Amino acid sequence: MASEPQGGLTEYIQHHLHHNVVSLGDGPFMKLHLDSIVVAFVLGALFCLWFWLKARKATSGVPSKGQAFVELIVEFVDTQVKDTFHGDRRTVTPLALSIFMWVTFLNAMDLLPLDAPGFAVKTAAGTEAMHGTFFRWVPTADINTTVGLALCVFFIVLGHGMKAKGTLGFGKELVTAPFHAHNPVVVAILVPFNLALNIIEYLSKPVSLAMRLFGNMYGGELVFMLIAGLFAGWISFLPGVLFNTAWGIFHILIILLQAFIFMMLTIVYIATAREHH
């Protein structure tokens, strides 16, 4: 959520589209988005600590409200896995639970005020200066975060496919499916087509995961900034609060829905990878 902007609306929005960057050297992969990394790791640690404490204090009798709430979440996720993945769930359910809770935590940061104090940054001339930088609270509104999550899921899916079919079986399926043939000559002709289709299919999975989550959270952040910019004056303060509140309530549904979709697609991708053509 955004507070009253300073300056023009366009300048305000452009200003908030930048991250606090830590440069490790030259090159496109030598810059770290400090805000996204810090928030993601802190929220991940809080999620682990929360569930660990509840598991440590769990009782077989009448559960406390906190334990009942955690059990409700775990049972909900396990039910989704059971309905989609028909195999050993001992590793899939914890993965799905971690994804759902972590992405929910990351998305929920969009409900916090946007304008947080920033840090000292270096100018183009290399001198230290205190600029009006702002800390971006929402890691999933950063394409780097969503791509990182999607790539982790991608490699996990590949691992499940190789474990279920063996490395040679997985490689054979890449060049013999979905088009099959009994004639060796036809099989050889179909190899490049099968390989190309399978590569496109596998690569489309992390792209769809990353872009869907990023697009929804980035768009939601922009809407908060637009509302703040359009209702920045004292006269329009009350309508601005009402519009921001209404969008925030609706945005809660988006936060939970995007986490649920990310989790479900991960489960579906794993189930598909373990199936034989």
Give the model's pLDDT for residue 125: 41
Of 208, 236, 244, 274, catalytic: 208
Give the model's pLDDT for residue 203: 94
> Does residue 208 carry a catalytic annotation?
yes
Domain presence at residue 79 = yes
| Distance (Å, whole) CA 103 – CA 140 | 8
Looking at the chain, the whole-number percentage of residues with pLDDT higher than 90 is 55
Question: Which of the pair, 178 or 211, is modelled with greater confidence?
Answer: 211
Domain that holds residue 243: 9-274
Domain presence at residue 3 = no
- Is 17's pLDDT higher than 80? no
pLDDT in tens, 23-54: 777 776 778 888 899 999 999 999 999 999 99
Domain presence at residue 4 = no
- Mean pLDDT, the chain, whole residue set: 84
Q: What is this structure's pTM? A: 0.84
For residue 12, the tally of other CB atoms under 10 A from its CB is 20
Average pLDDT, stretch 196-212? 95
User: Minimal CA–CA distance to 133: which of 120, 148, 143?
Assistant: 120
Give the model's pLDDT for residue 111: 84
Of 194, 216, 244, 274, catalytic: 216
Kindly list the distances between the CA atom of residue 100 and the CA atoms of 62, 68, 107, 125, 265, in Å, as whole numbers in the listed order: 26, 18, 11, 44, 11
Domain presence at residue 214 = yes
> Does residue 216 carry a catalytic annotation?
yes
Indicate the number of domains in the chain: 1
- Is 8's pLDDT higher than 70? no
- Token couple for 87: 């195999």
Kindly list the distances between the CA atom of residue 125 and the CA atoms of 31, 36, 54, 121, 128, in Å, as whole numbers in the listed order: 18, 26, 51, 11, 9
pLDDT in tens, 95-150: 999 999 999 999 999 888 665 554 444 434 443 433 445 678 899 999 999 999 99
Domain presence at residue 1 = no
Whether 35 and 20 have beta carbons less than 8 Å apart is answered as yes
pLDDT in tens, 148-193: 999 999 999 999 999 999 999 999 999 988 888 888 888 899 999 9
Kindly provide the b/e burial profile for residues 98-137, where b requires at least 16 CB atoms within 10 angstroms of the residue's own CB: bbbbbbbbbbbbbbeebbeebeeeeeeeeeeeeeebbbbb
Domain presence at residue 257 = yes
| Distance (Å, whole) CA 31 – CA 94 | 32
> Does residue 136 carry a catalytic annotation?
no
Domain presence at residue 143 = yes
Average pLDDT, stretch 227-234? 63
Burial of 146 (0-12, 13-18, 19+ CB in 10 A): buried
Of 212, 236, 244, 274, catalytic: 212
